[in-house]
């Protein structure tokens, strides 16, 4: 990746690969990212770019044998880049320059948020965007009209412990359903 992440993404938009934008928000389930990526290893024409929220990155510091590092994830097959909030603006913006969250939206064929924390879920439902992941979601082309292509979907995998999974979270998840967004449910999900 060069000095400007937005330009590096723009250069890969028409590379002929299937583009998966995999995002993780702050949940202990973030340590499962290598398993998700490894399960996709057989897809040789797949390009994966990862977005980590600040709180997701706290789980990826190699604190124990089961906790990977960001560097170990970056070294996995098909992973072309990992982005964090500070990558959004690496230099002073000039009109006409690329913007990372916009270029990631254009680049991605699908966005998978696994894990989706209760906090990020609430931000999305309420239209808040205060980090790279929520900026991408707010800019997402749900109609196919913005980027002149197919409608793009978002797949989410909520990850909350039993105490977090309260009636309010259930109501939010039910509200969150739309034809452009899908949800992976665990056996214990409402």
Nearest to 60 by CA among 88, 41, 79: 79
CB-based contact 110:21 (threshold 8 Å): yes
**Greater model confidence, 158 or 172:** 158
Output the six-digit token pair for 175: 């509200």
CB-based contact 132:159 (threshold 8 Å): no
Output the six-digit token pair for 12: 């890969």
Q: What is the pTM of this model?
A: 0.89
Residues 25-66: tens digit of each pLDDT = 999 999 999 999 999 999 989 999 999 999 999 999 999 888
Alpha carbon separation from 95 to 86, 92, 99, 103, 166 (Å, rounded): 20, 10, 10, 15, 45
Domain 5-183 -> CATH class: alpha beta
Domain borders along the chain are 5-183
């Amino acid at each position: 990746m060069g000095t400007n992440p937005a330009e590096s993404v723009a250069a890969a938009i028409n590379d002929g690969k299937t583009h998966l934008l995999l995002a993780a928000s702050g949940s202990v389930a973030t340590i499962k990212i290598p398993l998700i990526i490894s399960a996709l290893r057989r897809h040789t024409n797949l390009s994966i770019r990862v977005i980590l929220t600040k709180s997701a990155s706290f789980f990826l510091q190699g604190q124990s044998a089961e906790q990977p590092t960001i560097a170990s994830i970056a070294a996995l097959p098909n992973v072309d880049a990992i982005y964090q909030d500070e990558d959004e603006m690496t230099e002073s913006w000039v009109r006409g320059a690329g913007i990372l969250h916009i270029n990631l939206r254009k680049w991605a064929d699908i966005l998978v948020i696994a894990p989706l924390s209760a906090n990020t879920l609430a931000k999305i439902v309420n239209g808040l965007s205060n980090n790279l992941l929520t900026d991408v979601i707010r800019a997402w082309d749900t109609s196919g009209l913005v980027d002149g292509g197919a409608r793009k979907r978002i797949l989410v995998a909520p990850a909350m412990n039993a105490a977090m999974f309260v009636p309010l979270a259930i109501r939010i998840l039910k509200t969150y359903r739309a034809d452009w967004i899908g949800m992976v449910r665990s056996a214990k999900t409402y």
